[in-house]
Amino acid sequence: MPAVGASGAISGVLGAYLLLFPHTRLSLCFFYFFIPFCFNLPAYAFLLFWFAEQVLYGYLQLGGVAYFAHIGGFVMGLFLIPHLYKPRRRYPVYLDYVLKYLYEYLGIQVVRPRGLGRTAKTILVILLLLVATGFMYAAYSSTNAPFNTYIVNVKTTLVEGAVEDTILLYFMPGSPTPIDFTLSYIDSVRITLNRLQPLLYNSTYEGKGGEVEYQYYLYTVRIRGVDVEVVLRDFYAKYNEKGVMVYSRGVLDTYVVVDNKLGSKTTISFNYNAYDVNLDLMVPLCLLAASLSVFAISSILKSDETSVFSSLELPGAYPYI
């Protein structure tokens, strides 16, 4: 689904940067077993890899809405920058001969802007077409969806501090497993969701909704083939008329599962909020996102008019103008 947040806005800046300064040299450093490795690469190589990673992880549902927020922001940056930045004027055809004469006979090298190469443009167009296709499929499936979608925000508090994450939850009435949700990469959030899974749906409250409260509640869940004991304390939950938990808070005591074995014990305070997604808005929003992805292709094809010179890989023996 299309979404834009703070990281989405920054992704928009990255999309604009890709077209404006594709050949800027970036210095990247990372640690491998405490050994730092640093290298340089052009901005277009790094940003193409990053955008491809967002598209891949988003379609594989390896996270919440964050990846699609990044995709949406990046596409908007690509689409808007030609309209916000005045393109440079095209050079006349004879200018190439003038520049060649200056370089070969006078030793003067005039630097001109360089845009994205053909390979980079091809990769970017393919990625944008994949994004557009995904949004078109989302528009189609939302009109025939056999499930309800919820945006779930989970905030957890441990000794180390508080963290939160947002995931998507799917409710499929009549299914043997009516609840499914996307994966969170925050450990405490993932543990909380896995332990609460048996309580996320309660058929008792279908058609009427309701509330439940426990001072102490003991039950067992099966995680990776291991039976894990869960103790809920000071637990309060609210269910909607579909029997889906839309709010809960409390403290859970449980064990971490490591390598299919019970690990250390942990205590997590949590706050859970679920918001029903209005699928009536999904179709126009997805169609709009697909259209912007297609229109962004025109920005890619005209990127040579937008790019600004950003390379200093020139011989040092000549003066420059």
Check whether 98 has a pLDDT greater than 70. Answer: yes
Check whether 228 has a pLDDT greater than 80. Answer: yes
- Residue 92: which pLDDT band, with cuts at 50, 70 and 90? low
- Residue 42: which pLDDT band, with cuts at 50, 70 and 90? confident
Tally: H helices and E strands in the chain: 8, 9
Q: What is the pLDDT of residue 83?
A: 82
Check whether 69 has a pLDDT greater than 60. Answer: yes
Check whether 21 has a pLDDT greater than 90. Answer: no
Kindly state the tokens that stand for 184: 């969170």
- Residue 321: which pLDDT band, with cuts at 50, 70 and 90? very low
Distance CA 195, CA 293 (A): 39
More confident position, 245 or 279: 245
Check whether 152 has a pLDDT greater than 90. Answer: yes
Average pLDDT over residues 65-89: 81
Q: Is 198 exposed, middle or buried (0-12, 13-18, 19+ CB in 10 A)?
A: middle
The pTM (predicted TM-score) of the whole model is 0.62
User: Could you tell me which residues come within 8 angstroms of residue 192 by beta carbon, excluding any fewer than 6 positions away?
Assistant: 154, 156, 252, 268, 270, 272
Contact 229, 255 (CB under 8 A): yes
Distance CA 16, CA 120 (A): 15
How many CB atoms neighbour CB 226 within 10 A? 14
Contact 251, 266 (CB under 8 A): no
The region of weakest confidence among 121-125, 200-204, 222-226, 309-313 is 309-313
